[in-house]
Amino acid sequence: MASNDLVHGPLECLITYDAETGMTGAFELEPGLLKGDILINLDSEDHGEIFIGCAGGVNTIATLPYTEEATGENMQGYNLAVKGLLGGHSGLDIHLGRGNANKVMNRLLAGGIKDYGVRIASVNGGSLRNAIPRESFATVAVPAENKESFQKYVNDYLKMIKNELASTDANVVINAEETKLPAHVMDLTTQSKFINAVFACPNGVYGMSADMQGLVETSNNLAIIKTGDKQIYVETLQRSSVESQKEDVMKSVAAAFELAGAKIEHSGDYPGWKPNIHSEILEVMQAVFKNLYGSEPKLQAVHAGLECGLLGRVYPRWDMISFGPTIRSPHSPDERVNIESVNEFWNYLVETLKNVPER
């Protein structure tokens, strides 16, 4: 935008904000604002790959009220923690089988409730709707007579989870530390309904694409669980490149929590982007890439919510393509970019702009 010597035809630049937490900027784009009919989207994560399609998504939020009860006598407070999971992007990494901290914590709580009389005071797991949760924390009360056996249970549970996740999350940590006894705990009826609803909620890959080998078609991420103000808040994100499958998994998630008595809301619904292998800008970028690097770029569709789906809904005439430098672990504290690929990405963009045909 600042250069005076780059060669290109008429150019408009669209910069959106808040993509990570809800694509807010893209949602607010109005028709008629832009005149162009080719979208070159600078928002992909592997240099040498051109993206021509993406999944759509929708958030499903469940709110379950509970009654606070005074904590009984002769109880010991514990802070429980599930940490050390890799997490990752809930679209790009969902097929890797990584542990979901909310699911791991739920299993820990369920066993504690069944065998050791655990009562839940609070739960707080996950932070972003589109990130596989890496951590979950809970405060509970345990009958004092069960302290030693409960600690042994937590240690044994950690060994079991380490065995299950040895190939994906070898550094998982689960511990229980004594703390001040919480004044209140969740009522028993809601506690049971909550645990069962989280068990019933699908998580991970829901279906694979029959048309594109290795592509996740439909998934759900059990992203956030938190308690406060006498209610349990659960946020999930459903993705699919097939609209009817997105609706199916959305209803499955909603049903799990509706059966527990939760109020359900849906938000942030956005469409997928259907691939067009006969795209004119695709042909240009394939030719430019081969000329620059001597090989063909890989064509990809991604199980994530590129803004192309939303933008294409407002501007259906657009011929769209997406590419970018090599990025790893997006939407997580481990996010990083390959510096060498940034220069290659830049050269590719500049050369593409030189070759975009006039219309």
Q: Is the pLDDT of residue 286 over 90?
A: yes
Same domain, 289 and 316: yes
User: Crossing angle for the helix pair 188-200 and 101-116, nearest 10 degrees?
Assistant: 140
Alpha carbon distance 264, 233 (integer Å) = 10
Domain assignment present for residue 17? The answer is no
**Residue 78 φ then ψ, to 5°:** -135, 140
- Please say whether the beta carbons of 220 and 87 come within 8 A: no
Last residue of a domain, one of 270, 288, 310: 270
Domain assignment present for residue 15? The answer is no
Same domain, 234 and 211: yes
Give SS3 for 22. Answer: coil
Same domain, 219 and 197: yes
Tell me the CB-side half-sphere exposure of residue 232, using CA atoms within 13 A: 29
Domain assignment present for residue 178? The answer is yes
Q: Which of 168, 176, 90 is nearest to 129 (CA)?
A: 90
Alpha carbon distance 184, 204 (integer Å) = 33
Same domain, 266 and 216: yes
Confidence band for 291, pLDDT divided at 50, 70 and 90: very high
Same domain, 252 and 162: yes
Q: Which residues in 138-160 are b (16+ Cβ under 10 Å) and which e? A: bbbbbbeebbeebbebbeebbee
Same domain, 255 and 284: no
- Please say whether the beta carbons of 43 and 337 come within 8 A: no
Same domain, 171 and 88: yes
Counting residues of the chain whose pLDDT is more than 70, the rounded percentage is 99
Same domain, 337 and 264: no
Q: What's the pLDDT tens digit per position in 103-125?
A: 999 999 999 999 999 999 999 99
Q: Which of 242, 256, 322 is nearest to 45 (CA)?
A: 322
Least confident range from 137-146, 266-275, 287-296: namely 266-275
Same domain, 209 and 313: no
Residues 227-231 have a mean pLDDT of: 97
Residue 304, domain CATH: 3.40.630.10
Beta bridge partners of 199: none
Same domain, 28 and 68: no
Alpha carbon distance 332, 329 (integer Å) = 6
Same domain, 70 and 48: no
Alpha carbon distance 217, 207 (integer Å) = 6
What are 141's two structure tokens?
């009360």
DSSP-assigned states of every residue in 32-96: TS---SEEEE---S-TTEEEEEE-EEEEEEEEEE--EEEPPSSEEEEEEEEE----EETTTSGGG
Q: Is the pLDDT of residue 357 over 90?
A: no
Q: What's the pLDDT tens digit per position in 1-55?
A: 889 999 999 999 999 988 777 778 888 999 999 999 999 999 888 899 999 988 9
Residue 191, domain CATH: 3.30.70.360
Domain assignment present for residue 350? The answer is yes
Say how many domains are in the chain.
2
The Cβ of residue 209 has, within 10 Å, a number of other Cβ atoms equal to 17
What are 328's two structure tokens?
């790893």
Q: Which of 12, 163, 17, 164 is nearest to 97 (CA)?
A: 164
Same domain, 212 and 91: yes
Q: State residue 254's pLDDT score.
A: 98
The Cβ of residue 14 has, within 10 Å, a number of other Cβ atoms equal to 14
pTM, entire model: 0.81
Alpha carbon distance 114, 105 (integer Å) = 14
Domain assignment present for residue 16? The answer is no
Q: State residue 212's pLDDT score.
A: 77
Domain assignment present for residue 126? The answer is yes
**By residue range, what is the domain housing residue 126?**
58-270
Last residue of a domain, one of 213, 237, 270: 270
Alpha carbon distance 60, 234 (integer Å) = 8
Alpha carbon distance 132, 99 (integer Å) = 8
Last residue of a domain, one of 270, 302, 318: 270
